[in-house]
Every structure is written in structure tokens, then in C-alpha cells.
């Protein structure tokens, strides 16, 4: 049985545009979260930073203008302090639509900071937070907390990249995060072919034909030969190549290498 129907071209166009927007939003969101996490894990951050905007000093609702002023301010302070001062910052909306930022900093000299003191908030004094007077004079209230767990802090700052924030940022230039340069990011270490259940425990992202993950403090110089260590309970160590050998992925037969790993050859 078949029915004739009428396809409204205007409605179809609107729906296709909406789907296209959602795809772009997903890509932007995923890319931003990945980069923020990489920058957060791969650099030696000192403090978790929170900065607000005082309406007497800046437009609290104009993210573009705030970002430009802030990044120029950071460049100026880097020259003034004569240090390798770096930042990784993620904007967030207040409920009323005004902006503030969270992020990570390193290289700020101790002389540029001071402890909070009475009559400033007691929780900041007791918590060991620090004030950055140069920022406060230029923009508004801020606080810095010394980082105690770098990995947990990296994941914590990444959570501020949200799809909701990505939607709100769409009309202001898609500024999902800001950072100074240069910052280190993750590097490709090795490729592992075929199924390896123990190694899969370290992988965090599934794709059509591969898995990827981040491993901390592991020098995997050669991706196919291991010393037989049982992991994740024990650390993984690479077996060095023989003198004169060179690693060329084009010459590797992954099926043969997998059979060697499983002890068949």
C-alpha cells in the first residue's frame, strides 16, 4: 500500500539547516574539550584561577571585548614580570548572561600575588587562596588556588566546556576557551594493531576502526614488543630495538606481530 504525500521544501530546508548546525556544534564541542584537556595535562600549571568582571571596569556581557582586553593584559604582564607566564581559560555564563572565567595559570611570580586578608571572605583566607591585585584593578574580583592534584584539576577545568556553553557562544565567535602561546599538547606516541584486551583498558575513545587513549609517563618506543609484564597491575616497559634496527610501520605485518604477542611464533 502506498500513499502520496506532500514535501514542504521550506520545512525540509529548515530541518537540514538545524541538523547541520548540530553537527557543527558537536564537532566544535568535542574539539574544544579535547584541546583543553590536552593543554591542561601537558603543561606545568601552578594555580586554578577564577576571574570575574566588575561592571564599573568592563562590559560583563561582551565576551569578545573581554577576551581581547584580557589576552593583551596577559601579554603586557608577561613583559612586566619577565617570566614565562601562561594561561588556559574557559569562559562561563552567570545566570543573568554575564561572563566570568575559570582556568589554569603558571609563571606568575610570587611578588604579583598576595594572600587574602580581613575583611575579605573568611573562606578564601582559611582556604589559602591568593589574590592577583593587577587583575583585580583591571577587571574585578579574582582568586587563585594552588593546584594539589594536576590530573583531577585538568579534568575539572575541562568540564566547563559544555554543549550549553557552546550554543551560547555561537553568536560571539565560538570562543569556547582562550590560551596563551606556546603551550604543549599531546603527541602521537605509537600505533597498536588488532585487538589487545589489556591495552584496551587504557583507551578512552572508540572510533570506527581504532581506539585512542592517553597514557601518562610511559615511553612506548616500540608498539609491538613488550617484556611480558602483566598490566594494568604492573607498569608497561618497551623492549628496545636491536642495534641498527629502524621502526617503519609500512614493513610491519600486524597479523604476524599479533601472533608473536600471543606466543604462536
- Cα separation of 106 and 88, whole Å? 9
Select the more confidently predicted residue: 119 or 187.
Answer: 119
Average pLDDT over residues 169-184: 72
Residue 193, by phi and psi: left (phi above 0), alpha (psi -120 to 50) or beta?
beta
If pLDDT is split at 50, 70 and 90, which confidence band does 261 have? Answer: low
pLDDT exceeding 90 applies to what percent of the chain?
39
| Mean pLDDT value of segment 148-160 | 89
User: How much is the mean pLDDT over the chain?
Assistant: 75
Cα separation, 175 vs 156, whole angstroms: 19
- Distance, in Å, from the CA atom of 93 to the CA atom of 91, rounded to the nearest integer, reads 7
CATH topology of domain 12-179: Alpha-Beta Plaits (3.30.70)
Cell of 211: 581506539
Split at pLDDT 50, 70, 90, the class of 114 is very high
What DSSP state is assigned to residue 172?
Answer: G
| Residue-level pLDDT at 2 | 43
For residues 166 and 154, what is the distance between their CA atoms, to the nearest angstrom? 19
The 8-class DSSP code of residue 33 comes to: H
Does 235 score more than 70 pLDDT?
no
Q: How many CB atoms neighbour CB 79 within 10 A?
A: 9
pLDDT at 89: 95
User: What's the CA gap between 50 and 92, in Å, rounded?
Assistant: 10
Please report, rounded to a whole number, the percentage of residues in the chain having pLDDT higher than 70: 55
Partner residues linked to 252 by β-bridges = none
Does residue 76 register a pLDDT over 80? yes
Cα–Cα nearest to 44, from 184, 156, 163? 184
* Residue keyed to cell 612506548: 220
Helix (H, G, I), strand (E, B) or coil at 100: strand
Out of 41-45, 95-99, 253-257, pick the least confident: 253-257
Is pLDDT above 60 for 158? Answer: yes
- The residue extents of the domains of the chain are 12-179, 188-265
Hey, how many other C-beta atoms are within 10 angstroms of the C-beta on 134? Answer: 17
Specify the pTM: 0.68
The 10 Å Cβ neighbour count of residue 203 is: 15
What lies within 8 Å, CB to CB, of 23 at 6+ separation is: none
pLDDT at 226: 45
Averaged pLDDT, 60-77 = 92
> What pLDDT shows up at residue 217?
54
Instruction: Single out the residue of 51, 49, 45, 62 nearest to residue 175, CA to CA.
Output: 62
Checking if the pLDDT of 152 tops 70, the result is yes
Q: Quick one: pLDDT at residue 209?
A: 59
Residue pair 125/145 in contact (Cβ under 8 Å)? The answer is: no
Choice between 6 and 148, residue whose per-residue pLDDT is larger: 148
> For the chain, how big is the Rg over CA atoms in Å?
25
pLDDT(210) > 60: yes
Q: For residues 193 and 104, which has the higher predicted lDDT (pLDDT)?
A: 104
Amino acid at each position: 500500500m502506498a500513499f502520496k504525500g506532500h514535501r514542504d521544501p521550506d520545512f525540509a530546508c529548515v530541518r537540514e539547516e538545524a541538523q547541520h548546525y548540530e553537527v557543527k556544534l558537536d564537532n566544535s564541542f568535542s574539539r574544544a574539550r579535547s584541546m583543553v584537556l590536552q593543554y591542561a595535562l601537558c603543561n606545568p600549571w601552578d594555580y586554578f584561577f577564577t576571574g570575574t568582571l566588575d561592571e564599573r571596569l568592563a562590559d560583563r556581557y561582551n565576551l569578545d571585548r573581554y577576551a581581547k582586553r584580557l589576552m593583551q593584559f596577559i601579554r603586557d604582564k608577561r613583559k612586566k614580570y619577565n617570566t614565562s607566564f601562561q594561561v588556559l581559560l574557559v569562559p562561563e555564563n552567570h545566570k543573568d548572561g554575564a561572563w566570568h572565567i575559570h582556568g589554569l595559570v603558571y609563571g606568575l611570580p610570587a611578588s604579583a600575588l598576595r594572600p587574602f586578608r580581613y575583611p575579605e571572605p573568611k573562606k578564601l583566607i582559611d582556604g589559602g587562596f591568593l589574590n592577583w591585585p593587577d587583575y583585580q584593578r583591571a577587571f574585578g574580583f579574582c582568586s587563585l588556588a594552588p593546584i594539589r592534584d594536576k590530573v583531577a584539576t585538568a579534568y575539572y577545568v575541562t568540564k566547563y566546556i559544555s554543549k550549553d556553553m557552546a550554543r551560547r557562544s555561537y553568536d560571539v565567535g565560538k570562543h569556547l576557551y582562550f590560551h596563551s602561546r606556546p603551550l604543549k599538547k599531546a603527541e602521537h606516541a605509537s600505533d597498536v594493531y588488532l585487538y589487545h584486551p589489556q591495552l584496551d583498558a587504557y583507551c578512552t575513545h572508540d572510533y570506527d576502526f581504532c581506539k585512542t587513549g592517553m597514557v601518562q609517563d610511559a615511553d612506548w618506543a616500540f608498539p609491538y614488543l613488550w617484556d611480558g609484564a602483566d598490566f594494568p597491575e604492573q607498569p608497561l616497559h618497551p623492549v628496545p630495538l636491536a642495534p641498527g634496527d629502524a621502526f617503519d610501520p609500512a614493513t610491519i605485518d600486524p597479523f604476524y606481530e599479533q601472533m608473536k604477542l600471543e606466543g604462536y611464533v
